Amino acid sequence: MKSKWHFVLWTVFLVAGLLVAACQPTPTVAPPTPTQAAVQPTQPPPQPTQPPPEPTQPPPQPTQPPARKVATFIWTQEFDTLSPLYTNMWFSTTTFELWQCAAWLFDDQNNPFPSLVTELPSVENGMISPDGKVITLKLRDDAVWSDGEPLTSEDFAFTYEMYVNPANTVASTYPYDQLEKLETPDPQTVVMTFKEPFAPWMIMWRGILPAHVLRPVFEAEGSLNEADWNKNPTVGCGPYVFAEWESGSFARFVANEKYWLGKPKIDEIFFRFVPDDASQIAALQAGDGDLGTFIAWSDIPTLEKAGVEVVPAFSMYNEGIYFYMHPEKGHPALQDLRVRKAIALATDRFSLCTDLLLGGTVPAATDWDQTPWNDPSLQPWPYDPDQAKALLDEAGWVDSNGDGVRDKDGVELVLDYGTTTREIRKDTQAVLQQQLAAVGIKVNLLNAEADLFFSGYGEGGPAARGEYDLFEYSTSPSQPPDPDTADWLCSEIPSDEYPDGSNWQANCDEELDALFAKQRTQVDLEQRMATFHQITKHIFENVYWLGLWQDPDTWAVGKRLKNVKISGATPLYSIMEWELVE
């Protein structure tokens, strides 16, 4: 009886093993796609009714169609929507360089170059009016949508109308709400008239809506909120065309046969949504992905060992600490420049970059680091704890009660330091806590999940409500690569009356306010740059923000991908040139 049971058990295991083995992937031909139609065998297969070949002729060789080149990109977050109207999500907008088109793109140095326009507008070429209010765009005449319809100024006008129409719940009306009017005197000309001179105009027109597809939808439904195109944009204008998107699983983009600059070298881009960072690394190691994003510094050695290259792309993000400086609610010590400077000098950000970030980056001096907008003379604050102690003494913050923490007028120098729950930030907090304790500053560490941390004042966001004296995150200008931001304006300090304000550090500096207002109207590049050098110097010297490290986007490029160049502003700008080799 016992041996019978063993026999049954082993039989079950054997059959199960065979079944599993039978399910192993075998080389299969990819399902036909529209782009495959052009790829045919050079000879038809021999027909049974055909006479046998002449003895003198070589036997017919079955010609295999060339294998489709499919690159797999691993995206740790799924797109929310693909419509430019409804998304600001990085993982969605980054696909735009595949299937959408833009008036201009930015290269791997974040320099702009024309794409849909024939040349970049400037005061010199007369396309920007002397008062900076009118900007004219001249469009290429060979640009077409993937269905063959010409792409004209009508599409630009329609895009503008949709952004500012209140029936559409768009992600942001900015910067299109800065326009007074938009005119289209002919199919290749777009004339934009702004209410005020508008220097950040280059953040516009990354993603155009096909008027011939969407206008009928808008007219029928009264808005584009529920347009099928938002999820299935089967008509696009980039080197690839949207093919398929299965929620939570994958999305496919196939080469656009009608792209006016030719056909890309890779046949298909396959996005696989893998939300777990460790799984992304495993997939890249195993070769199940050709491109990965936002690689943690600690994972770089593992990937490099597996032959995966890590490419940084500077997207104008810098990790840093804001000081909460509300005159009434803020900690009194932080009102004093000497204390802020002491905090900067007491923190060893250089070792932080070497040890925690494995030397992958360097400290940032200002929030505009690595851009021409930063005053080139500025260097990160040095690590000098002795000078920090001297400055604190000079400011009157001394340890009068012998508890190891400095105090003044009965107030202890104890600061609440908040950030998100990201591991690298928590590690940074621990290191800085130790370094600040060494100069007599006690720091309480606080953490909140990202969605709570970034919540606004009205929604109880702890940073926005001033619950932290110091708060850390990676920040950038409003719309990189443009340097403008509203985060330093006095009018943006959040309050019960104005809960949506974005100046969470509650720092009102009228000089800075005036400089920001000035740069926003300077359409002359050199003048604006000079103003920004003043801005960055002012913020740096007053230690309104303490840079921890430059925070480029880290991309993992698998062994099969070649010719990869990535921009910080429009990452996949050179996708046409990318190649896939086995």
Partner 1 sequence: MGRYVARRLLQAVPLLFIISVILFVLMQSIGDPLATMSGRRPTRSADRERLKRQLGLDQPVLMQYVYWLVGNDWTSIDLDGDGVRETRGERKGVLRGDLGRSLKKRQPVLDLIGERLPNTLLLMGTYEMVVLVGAVALGIYSAVRQYSIFDHAVTGVSFVLYSMPIFFIALLSMYLLAVKPKQWGLPYFPTVGMFEPEAGKTVPQVIWHMVLPVLSLSLISLAGYSRYMRSSMLEVLSQDYIRTAKSKGLERRYVLFAHALKNASLPIVTLIGLDLPTLLGGAIVTERIFGWPGMGRLFFDSVSDADTPVVMAILMMVSVAVVVFQILTDVIYAWLDPRIRYE
For residue 292, which phi and psi values (nearest 5 degrees)?
Answer: -130, 160
Residue 23 lies near partner 1 (rule: CB under 8 A):
yes
- Rounded least distance, CB 548 to partner 1, Å: 17
Q: What b/e readout covers 25-60, taking b as 16+ CB neighbours within 10 angstroms?
A: eeeeeeeebebbeeeeeeeeeeeeeeeeeeeeeeee
Measured from the CB atom, the residue of 62 and 307 that comes closer to partner 1 is 307
The stretch near partner 1 (CB under 8 A) out of 65-73, 104-112, 510-518, 531-539 is 65-73
Long-range contacts of 115-123 (CB under 8 A, 24+ apart): 116/140, 116/143, 116/151, 116/205, 116/208, 121/201, 123/523, 123/524
- Rounded least distance, CB 287 to partner 1, Å: 7
- Rounded least distance, CB 20 to partner 1, Å: 7
Residue 578 lies near partner 1 (rule: CB under 8 A):
no
Measured from the CB atom, the residue of 68 and 326 that comes closer to partner 1 is 68
Among 172, 178, 387, 574, binds partner 1 (CB under 8 A): 172
Measured from the CB atom, the residue of 77 and 522 that comes closer to partner 1 is 77
For residue 479, which phi and psi values (nearest 5 degrees)?
Answer: -135, 80
Measured from the CB atom, the residue of 381 and 544 that comes closer to partner 1 is 544
CA distance 99 to 258: 12
CA distance 274 to 248: 9
Among 36, 70, 191, 538, binds partner 1 (CB under 8 A): 70
In the chain, the amino acid numbered 131 is: D
Tell me the Ramachandran region of residue 19: left when phi exceeds 0, alpha when psi lies from -120 to 50, beta otherwise.
alpha
Measured from the CB atom, the residue of 16 and 438 that comes closer to partner 1 is 16
Among 197, 461, 547, 558, binds partner 1 (CB under 8 A): 461
Torsion, Cα 256 257 259 264, to 10 degrees, reads 70
Measured from the CB atom, the residue of 177 and 386 that comes closer to partner 1 is 177
Among 167, 261, 445, 530, binds partner 1 (CB under 8 A): 167
Residues in 419-448 that interact with partner 1 by CB under 8 A: none
- Rounded least distance, CB 403 to partner 1, Å: 36
Closest CA to 334 of 222, 415, 435, 423: 415
CA distance 39 to 68: 9
Among 212, 231, 265, 565, binds partner 1 (CB under 8 A): 231
For residue 295, which phi and psi values (nearest 5 degrees)?
Answer: -75, 130
Residues in 242-281 that interact with partner 1 by CB under 8 A: 246-250, 252, 268, 270, 272-276, 278-279
- Rounded least distance, CB 570 to partner 1, Å: 14
With CB under 8 A as the rule, give the number of residues binding partner 1: 84
Cβ-proximal residues to 390 (8 Å cutoff; 6+ apart), any chain: none
Residue 66 lies near partner 1 (rule: CB under 8 A):
no
Measured from the CB atom, the residue of 6 and 426 that comes closer to partner 1 is 6
Residue 178 lies near partner 1 (rule: CB under 8 A):
no
Measured from the CB atom, the residue of 75 and 259 that comes closer to partner 1 is 75
CA distance 555 to 196: 38
Q: Based on the number of CB atoms within 10 Å of its own CB, is 195 exposed (0-12), middle (13-18) or buried (19 or more)?
A: exposed
Cβ-proximal residues to 365 (8 Å cutoff; 6+ apart), any chain: 374, 378, 379, 380, 381, 536, 540, 547
Measured from the CB atom, the residue of 20 and 38 that comes closer to partner 1 is 20
- Rounded least distance, CB 455 to partner 1, Å: 4
- Rounded least distance, CB 412 to partner 1, Å: 31
Measured from the CB atom, the residue of 194 and 383 that comes closer to partner 1 is 194
Measured from the CB atom, the residue of 478 and 542 that comes closer to partner 1 is 478
- Rounded least distance, CB 280 to partner 1, Å: 8
Among 104, 259, 314, 317, binds partner 1 (CB under 8 A): 317
- Rounded least distance, CB 159 to partner 1, Å: 17
Alpha carbon 295 to chain centroid, angstroms = 13
Task: Tell me which residue has tokens 């851009």.
Answer: 371
Cβ(443)–Cβ(437) under 8 Å?
yes
Residues in 373-412 that interact with partner 1 by CB under 8 A: none
In the chain, the amino acid numbered 494 is: P
The distance between the two most distant Cα atoms of the chain, rounded to a whole number of Å, is 108
Residue 510 lies near partner 1 (rule: CB under 8 A):
no
Residues in 464-503 that interact with partner 1 by CB under 8 A: 464, 474-476, 478, 486, 492, 498, 500-502
Residue 234 lies near partner 1 (rule: CB under 8 A):
no
Residues in 517-576 that interact with partner 1 by CB under 8 A: none
- Rounded least distance, CB 149 to partner 1, Å: 25
Distances (CA, A) of 91 to 88, 359, 437: 9, 27, 40
- Rounded least distance, CB 328 to partner 1, Å: 22
x-or-dash string of contact with partner 1, 116-145, rule CB under 8 A: ------------------------------
Look at residue 438 and give its three-state secondary structure.
coil
- Rounded least distance, CB 459 to partner 1, Å: 4
Distances (CA, A) of 422 to 296, 360, 473, 530: 11, 18, 10, 36
- Rounded least distance, CB 428 to partner 1, Å: 19
Task: Tell me which residue has tokens 């797999």.
Answer: 72
